[in-house]
Amino acid sequence: MQAMIQGFHKAGHEVTVLTMNTPKHYVILRTLPEAVRMSAEFFAVDVDTNVKLTDMLANFLFSKQSYHVQRFNSRRFREELQKLLRSNKYDIVQLETLFMAPYIDTVREMNPNAFISLRIHNIEHIIWERRAENEDNPLKKLLFEVTSSRMKAYEELIFKNKDYDALVPITNVDLGKARDLGAKEPFMFINTGVDLEAIDRTETEFEFPSIFYIGALDWGPNVEGLRWFLKYVWPLIRANYPDVKFYIAGRRMAPDFLKKPMENVVLMGEVDESEPFIKSHAVMVVPLLSGSGLRIKIVEAMAYGKAVVATRIAAEGLGAFHGNQILIADKAREFADCVSVLLEKRSFFDTIAIHAKNFVESRFDNNKLTRRLLDFYGREIKNKKAAAAEAEKKD
């Protein structure tokens, strides 16, 4: 979202951001970096989206609505949104993620002429569907299945019936799935990009061989995948490379993430900046077993010239080819072999890394992606105005 905001700003547009300030990702606006603050006018509303066991249980027993959508339906946020819409006539209102869909009606009521874009980061029900498939605990499995079913019903309702003007998934894969759920045109997928002008991609010394992982460790699918890697893949790698180190970085790492220390596994916790961490290591692993959308950390690692080994789900929507810009494996032995060949053959590592870097430059330049989205908006706004004028003539 930050990349998109800065892309709009660079293209010469005035941008206002209204954000939910949640306990999980709380930010004091005045502490934002100056470059971020200069790109938009920011407003934040405190919203408690924490999962509450009693609320979740009541929802599970007495409601057919998605609890995870209800957590983001806030009266205070709606009031602040109304206040902004009352004082500004925005040309475009871009709602980020499915969880902002409850506010489509508010935007339409307050500003009937605004072009409303719903930008979805994932097909949400698939995340829970995949988690259910991977879950052994019968109670958790049931909870994930119910969550997936309710989320799917909500997605179908929004995609088919809500009064948005455009649907913008971030991958072609998710666009296809949204179509299957009845999404109405117009739609266009726009990948999440990287500001190639803003990052330092000069080659620096890094630890080779080494393995690393970076991601939010307060998100279930990330923890699930990382535990699978440590249990099934890491011992296979260690058997052949006993001296190689595995560095793990991520916010909100649970204190008991490793109940007992594992040799050569270095827990970094939350790092101040991802760039130095990524640049200082060699092979990135992304062992995601459930999820949807696009893993921006893969794109960032590729931009810095790192070789990536990922599961098929982790690489979904990326468009990279196995053995060329990335290595893809789903089974533990195959995953370990992919990592091992990169550790063993520096020349192969360098080839994959160069291809990955070129791939990002050609497909994930944020400035180009933003212009593509703005061109799409421009065309559709003209189409909307022409249709309105035609309807007025008929009346």
Select the more confidently predicted residue: 257 or 363: 363
Domains 2-193+366-394 and 211-363 share a fold: yes
Residue 292 pLDDT: 78
**Residues 83 and 108 sit within 8 Å (Cβ to Cβ):** no
Residues 6 or more apart whose CB falls under 8 angstroms from that of 299 comprise 191, 192, 193, 194, 318, 360, 364
Residue 56 has pLDDT above 90, yes or no: no
Residue 260 has pLDDT above 80, yes or no: no
Residue 57 pLDDT: 84
> pTM to 2 decimals?
0.87
* Domain residue ranges in the chain: 2-193+366-394, 211-363
For the domain bounded by 211-363, which CATH number is listed?
Answer: 3.40.50.2000
Q: Please give the CATH architecture assigned to the domain spanning 2-193+366-394.
A: 3-Layer(aba) Sandwich (3.40)
Q: How large is the average pLDDT for residues 67-93?
A: 95
Max alpha carbon distance in the chain (Å)? 78
Phi, psi of 157 (to 5 degrees): -60, -45
Could you tell me the two tokens for 382? 């003209």
Residue 395 has pLDDT above 80, yes or no: no
Residue 220 pLDDT: 87
Look up tokens 């999980």; give the residue.
Answer: 24
Residue 333 Cα distances to 246, 289, 307, angstroms: 17, 15, 18
On average, the pLDDT of the chain sits at 93
Confidence of residue 381 (pLDDT cuts 50, 70, 90): very high
Residue 252 pLDDT: 84
Residue 328 pLDDT: 98
Residue 218 pLDDT: 86
> CA torsion, points 272, 278, 281, 283, in degrees to nearest 10?
140
Straight-line distance from the first to the last Cα atom of the chain, in angstroms, rounded to the nearest whole number: 41
Where b means 16+ CB within 10 Å and e means fewer, 270-300 reads eeeeeeeebbebbbbbbbbbbbbbbbbbbbb
